[in-house]
Amino acid sequence: MTRPTTRRTLLAGAVAAAASPFAARAQGGPDLKGTTVVFASWGGAYQDAEKVSYCEPFEKATGAKVVQDGPMNPAKFRAMIASGTPDWDVADVTGGFLEVGIKDGLFEKIDPKLVTTSRIDPRFVSEYGVGCIVWSSNLGFSTTAFPNGEPKVWADLFDLKKFPGKRTLQDAPTASLEVALLADGVAPDKLYPLDVDRAFKKLDIVKEHTVFWSTNSQSQQLFVDREVTAGVILNGRVYDAAQKGAKISLSWEQNIQQVDYLVVPRGSRNRDAAMRLIDTMTLADNRAKLANLIAYSPTNPEAFKAIDPKLESWLCTTPANIKRGLVLDQAYWRDNLARLTERWTAWKLA
Amino acid sequence: MRAIDRRTWLLLPAGLLLTVAFLGPVGWLLMRAFTFPQPGFENFELLWQRPVYLRVMGNTLLISAIVTPIVLLLGFPVAHMMAHGSARLRRWLVFLVLVPFWTSLLVRSFATAILLQRHGVINSFLVGFGFVDEPLPLLYNLTGLLAGCVQVLLPFVIFPLYSAMARIDPALMNAAATLGAPPLRAFVRVYLPLTLPGLMTGATLVFISTLGYYIIPALLGGARQQMVAQLIQDQIATFGNWGVAGALSLVLLLATGGLLALLQLTVGLKEIAR
């Protein structure tokens, strides 16, 4: 699944990028005056951080105006494409939607003349989208529940004797089935296609002890309220809860990574300006700024030079943490999500 | 030709809004059950072939059927006090019943969770005073879901009941007593039938509202309390599958309509409208 990338090749790529013709153009002054680019994302603190870290530098460099819109919504996105004239020029979408959208022809191809994709870790670049942030499903646990040693790997989540207490899982098959298979001893590079029967059999062990979360704030709250002692939770949520004083920590072993991508909706009226906004978004400095604001992991390895070292232990794309993880296969999930969601629901009800 | 009562025009704005913002989109969604991805009945065949859909549908109806009598039983005495208590008491009760309306559903669900959780208010009390040894499982199961639904839906029963009870002439109960009916008999034979319109309105509102619940089962229910609105949302937002979503909605609509028709036959919608 994961293509091996050494830090050195990435650095080489970044150096080459710096020497690319774009560098000259970026200094070419505000040539997009009068252009308006509409950027759609997920709202809240995240989009605020994107505005400051990506959009404002872009406005300054090009003279264009960026209008914030959202929240991103797959159904709305499709409806816009169907109408022929999308309102959005750049959208921040999940990796899952990227694959679905590629199949259904919802995006413009990323233009290599306008976007220097070599700044980004190649694992997180697609022909139709550029990875902007990475997040991971981690083994989160209460720091007070296990005085005789903390859980470390997914197998520990299923060991109710050694690690007693309630569990939490996301109420979705995505990542949950991977967790079960990794816990059952499947090697990361042999995960796909998933052995679904084996995964559900493993999940049976904890089913009766599990509270299923459907919103991220809920996953956090379950630990804060001491409702569960261990479970699957996103790295950013453990960070947030820990910042607020919750007794929670996480393991980076076998973390399962997912990527959000920047895409240009097909038929965008400002395609070139949209591509250039995405290019600004790939710059290491801008990535670092975003990470410092909201602790989301960058896809540009160079960004770590300017990221607060205190944050590094919470980010999944640091050299140490990225090695321990694997990237969720979104193409697999695109083709199997409907079927497996049905099976997931049936499994829960059984 | 007889002139139309000019006041009829006053219905126009609401009628237009209803058509444009409600009937249109809903009709469109239901149509899609037969037209998406291609014309035919494949979406319904799918619902029939995969037991999980019918199971969730049955689950939803069952949960609504449990919630409704609980809300009625809890709301009835409150409405009674509101209708027949002092004006001061009535003002307080109206205020207390309305307060939840000013609070978001999400906040109220989280508040319910705080009460019911393992280390929550109720369990701390029960364990602290030695009533139970272990915290009771009150949350992330049917109990939690019912608690959440009931607290949200109480006003929908209290107000229709109140308006029915306020219209009951108190002299009727005295008359029944004078004629020799003991209190319980007077209540069952005289008072209760007169509250029936309010009772039926309340029950209908609660039952139908519960069918569509989406946030509460997700936040307070457990694995087995999956309800159909969650499935419909998944089909639209995650899969873009308007066909299955439409088919699920149509089946839900028909089931609801069927139950209302049954109610009509047994109690009479005329009672509700009166």
The first and second tokens of residue A39, run together, are 């950027």
HEC per residue, chain B: CCCCCHHHHHHHHHHHHHHHHHHHHHHHHHHHHHHCCCCCCHHHHHHHHCHHHHHHHHHHHHHHHHHHHHHHHHHHHHHHHHHHCCHHHHHHHHHHHHHHHHCCHHHHHHHHHHHHCCCCHHHHHHHHCCCCCCCCCCCCCHHHHHHHHHHHHHHHHHHHHHHHHHCCCHHHHHHHHHCCCCHHHHHHHHHHHHHHHHHHHHHHHHHHHHHCCCHHHHHHCCHHHCCHHHHHHHHHHHCCCHHHHHHHHHHHHHHHHHHHHHHHHHCCHHHHHC
For position B3, what pLDDT does the model report?
67
Q: Give the tens place of pLDDT for each residue, A280-325.
A: 999 999 999 999 998 899 999 999 999 999 999 999 999 999 999 9
For position A75, what pLDDT does the model report?
85
The first and second tokens of residue A60, run together, are 């300054």
Name the residue in chain A with its Cα closest to that of B244: A338
Residues of chain B with pLDDT under 70: 1-3, 267-274
For residue A223, the one-letter residue type is F
Q: Considering chain A, what is the average pLDDT of its residues?
A: 91
Rounded Cα distance, B198 and A80, in Å: 46
For residue B153, the one-letter residue type is L
For position A334, what pLDDT does the model report?
92
Residue partners of A128: CB distance under 8 A and separation at least 6: A98, A101, A102, A107, A108, A109, A110, A261, A263
In chain A, % of residues over pLDDT 70: 92
For residue B194, the one-letter residue type is L
Range list of H helices, chain A? 7-18, 21-26, 44-50, 56-62, 74-83, 95-104, 154-157, 176-183, 196-207, 216-224, 235-243, 271-282, 284-294, 319-324, 330-349
**How many Cα atoms are found within 13 Å in the side-chain-facing hemisphere of B208?**
17
Chain A positions in Cβ-Cβ contact with residue B241 (cut-off 8 Å): 338
Contact A280, A132 (CB under 8 A): no
pLDDT over 60 at A1, yes or no: no
For position A308, what pLDDT does the model report?
95
* Residue of B29, B53, B118 to mutate for A, most A C-beta atoms under 10 A: B118
Name the residue facing A78 among B119, B234, B240 (closest C-beta).
B240
CA of A159 vs chain B CAs: smallest distance (Å): 21
User: In the structure, what pLDDT confidence band is assigned to residue A7 with cuts at 50, 70 and 90?
Assistant: very low
Are B240 and A74 inside 8 Å of each other by CB?
yes
Q: What is the ipTM of this complex?
A: 0.81
Name the residue facing B140 among A211, A346, A349 (closest C-beta).
A211
User: In the structure, what pLDDT confidence band is assigned to residue A31 with cuts at 50, 70 and 90?
Assistant: confident
Query: What number of C-beta contacts closer than 8 Å exist between A and B?
Result: 65
pLDDT over 60 at A215, yes or no: yes
CA of A116 vs chain B CAs: smallest distance (Å): 31
Name the residue facing A75 among B52, B231, B236 (closest C-beta).
B236
* Residue of A208, A219, A349 to mutate for B, most B C-beta atoms under 10 A: A349
For position A26, what pLDDT does the model report?
47
Collect all residues from A whose CB is shorter than 8 A from any CB in B: 73-75, 78, 100, 166, 171, 207, 210-212, 214-215, 218, 221, 225-227, 337-338, 341-342, 345-346, 348-349
* Residue of A77, A99, A341 to mutate for B, most B C-beta atoms under 10 A: A341
Rounded Cα distance, B93 and B160, in Å: 14
For position A20, what pLDDT does the model report?
46
For position B102, what pLDDT does the model report?
83
Are A207 and B223 inside 8 Å of each other by CB?
yes
Question: Would you give the end-to-end CA distance of chain B in angstroms?
Answer: 31
For position B100, what pLDDT does the model report?
81
Nearest to A69 by CA among A49, A86, A84, A91: A91
CA of B70 vs chain A CAs: smallest distance (Å): 24
Rounded Cα distance, A147 and A203, in Å: 25
In chain A, % of residues over pLDDT 90: 85
Rounded Cα distance, A267 and A190, in Å: 39
Are B226 and A349 inside 8 Å of each other by CB?
yes
For position B5, what pLDDT does the model report?
81
CA of B262 vs chain A CAs: smallest distance (Å): 29
**Beta strands at A90-94 and A248-263: parallel, antiparallel or unpaired:** antiparallel
Collect all residues from B whose CB is shorter than 8 A from any CB in A: 50-52, 55-56, 59, 110, 113-114, 117-120, 139-140, 218-219, 222-224, 226, 231, 234, 236-241
**How many Cα atoms are found within 13 Å in the side-chain-facing hemisphere of B57?**
19
CA angle (B172 as vertex; B169, B174 as ends), nearest 5: 120
DSSP letter for each residue of A304-329:
GGGS-GGGGGG-TTSHHHHHH-EE--
Q: Give the tens place of pLDDT for each residue, A256-292.
A: 999 999 999 999 999 999 999 999 999 999 999 999 9
The mean per-residue pLDDT over the stretch A199-222 comes to 94
Are A337 and B238 inside 8 Å of each other by CB?
yes
Chain A positions in Cβ-Cβ contact with residue B218 (cut-off 8 Å): 171, 214-215
Q: Give the tens place of pLDDT for each residue, A143-197.
A: 999 999 999 999 999 999 999 999 999 999 999 999 999 999 999 999 999 999 9
The first and second tokens of residue A167, run together, are 């569990």
Chain A positions in Cβ-Cβ contact with residue B55 (cut-off 8 Å): 346, 349
Chain A positions in Cβ-Cβ contact with residue B52 (cut-off 8 Å): 342, 345-346, 349
pLDDT over 50 at A19, yes or no: no
Residue partners of B4: CB distance under 8 A and separation at least 6: none
pTM above 0.80, yes or no: yes
pLDDT over 50 at A4, yes or no: no
